[in-house]
Amino acid sequence: MRVLHTADWHLGQHFLTGQERITEQQLFLDWLLQTVRAEGVDTLVIAGDIFDNQTPSYAAQELYYTFLVKMQATGCRDIVVVGGNHDSPTMLNASRQLLRQLRIHVVGGVPADPAEQVLALPGLVVCAVPFLRDRDIRLAVAGETPDERQFRVRDSIASHYLAISEHDAVRRLREQDVPVLATGHLYAAGGEAREGAERDVHIGGLGLVGAEHFPAAFDYVALGHLHRPQVVGGRAHIRYSGSPVPLSFTEADDRQQVLLLNFEGVGVPQITAIPVPVMRRLQRFHGELDEVEAAILAYDNEAFRLVAWADVLVRSDESPAEVQRRVQAVLKERRSHVLAPRGARHQRLTEAPDAATAATSPLELLHELTVDEVFRRRVAGLPPERAAVLTATFGELRQLLAEADPLAWGGTA
């Protein structure tokens, strides 16, 4: 039984000043089709965040559905899709019954019948657990402290996985030497998140779920949410596949991959990381003006199919107009290799240390931030306990709004 684990596609992501990543994501999906065919994959597992937001563009949806149709010609028997925190359960589940006829199993959110998360496929049991929202795992308790709330979240998530692992079909088939794979879309303890790249999953309760909270009945746990490939808690069978396309400059030097699992009955499978070719380089040019000019002129993009996108930060006492003039001149000369969608950011050499530190942070626009990020910054100066209570209450309110009108509540500021 050969399984391919991938996650965090974020189809339709808008980058920097609004560029959509459709071209890069199309090239990845074309490569993935070829890889599934070449590797003889039996089951493809996508562990959440198929889309970048709850109201994906038509172009992003077309990528998704066209890919699923083309997968029918690869020889892959089954596809398992679970929702992530960026995905709309309603949107994913809308085509669920139709896709099931093509052996595409979609679990956009926790179903009313927990048994629907247990998929008995040929040669494999998949416990298809999507992102667990607050309404799925707990109710607010009046008077509880932030720590009590966090531990309640952790225990509820662990209980959910335990209940799924004890399902009759899981126990019966595992006794017949059929391996069991579980999915998850969460932030596990010890995982490394990229600043600005991965948004909070459970507000105020990140990183509480550890490797020990996944039952021993799971021969492999396919995780999504963290964009850097990594093993959880030193246990080789609990892994994040990582995102196949770098989603921010902080991820530019991460490796992009998918994970091929080869099961020989019950037990940890043989795991092989297959590198995903990077089609567009996200390149940083930071330094004094002469250094930045020289680096841009020397930059060679021949190894990449698409023109690089650059983050340019210049430290100079020249006027901002002069900095922009000189940077744009070298960018124009190298326009077939590199583009800087938001231009050059300017930092004076003589700025005070605190100002200099702030200036090294990428310039952010309101439309690039999520609602959660804006709220988190608004409460950052409050006492920790008050901030935690307000944030938890805000998260519950936001979830209620999303449930009331999931199509209108896209989660962006």
Rounded distance, CA 339 to CA 299, Å?
11
* Among the ranges given (127-131, 322-326, 339-343), the one the predictor scored with the smallest mean pLDDT: 339-343
Inform me whether the pLDDT recorded for 408 exceeds 80. Answer: no
Task: Check residue 407 and give its pLDDT.
Answer: 46
Rounded distance, CA 347 to CA 315, Å?
5
Rounded distance, CA 267 to CA 180, Å?
9
Inform me whether the pLDDT recorded for 413 exceeds 50. Answer: no
Q: Give the chain's domains with CATH numbers.
A: 2-275 (3.60.21.10), 280-348 (3.30.160), 364-412 (no CATH)
Inform me whether the pLDDT recorded for 17 exceeds 90. Answer: no
pLDDT interval class at 405 (50, 70, 90) = low
171 token code pair: 């126990």
Inform me whether the pLDDT recorded for 383 exceeds 90. Answer: no
> What's the average model confidence in pLDDT over 110-136?
91
Of residues 64 and 406, the one with the higher pLDDT is: 64
**Each residue of 33-71: pLDDT tens digit?**
999 999 999 999 999 999 998 999 999 999 999 999 999
Task: Check residue 204 and give its pLDDT.
Answer: 38
Task: Check residue 341 and give its pLDDT.
Answer: 83
E strand map for 289-401: 308-315, 338-339, 344-347
Task: Check residue 206 and give its pLDDT.
Answer: 46
pLDDT interval class at 366 (50, 70, 90) = low
Of residues 344 and 178, the one with the higher pLDDT is: 178
Inform me whether the pLDDT recorded for 355 exceeds 70. Answer: no
Rounded distance, CA 23 to CA 9, Å?
13
Query: Helix or strand or coil: residue 182?
Result: strand
Task: Check residue 174 and give its pLDDT.
Answer: 94
pLDDT interval class at 314 (50, 70, 90) = very high
User: Are 223 and 185 contacting, i.e. CB atoms less than 8 angstroms apart?
Assistant: yes
Task: Check residue 356 and give its pLDDT.
Answer: 47
Task: Check residue 169 and give its pLDDT.
Answer: 94
Query: Across the chain, what does the average pLDDT equal?
Result: 85
> What's the average model confidence in pLDDT over 106-126?
94
Query: Helix or strand or coil: residue 107?
Result: strand
Percentage of the chain exceeding pLDDT 70: 81
Inform me whether the pLDDT recorded for 252 exceeds 90. Answer: no
Task: Check residue 396 and give its pLDDT.
Answer: 57
Q: Cβ contacts of residue 232 below 8 Å, gap of 6+? A: 188, 189, 190, 191, 210, 211, 221, 223, 238, 239, 240
Task: Check residue 201 and give its pLDDT.
Answer: 46
Task: Check residue 359 and give its pLDDT.
Answer: 47
* Among the ranges given (101-115, 162-176, 367-381), the one the predictor scored with the smallest mean pLDDT: 367-381
pLDDT interval class at 404 (50, 70, 90) = low
Which 3-state string (H, E, C) describes 326-356? HHHHHHHHCCCCEECCCCEEEECCCCCHHHH
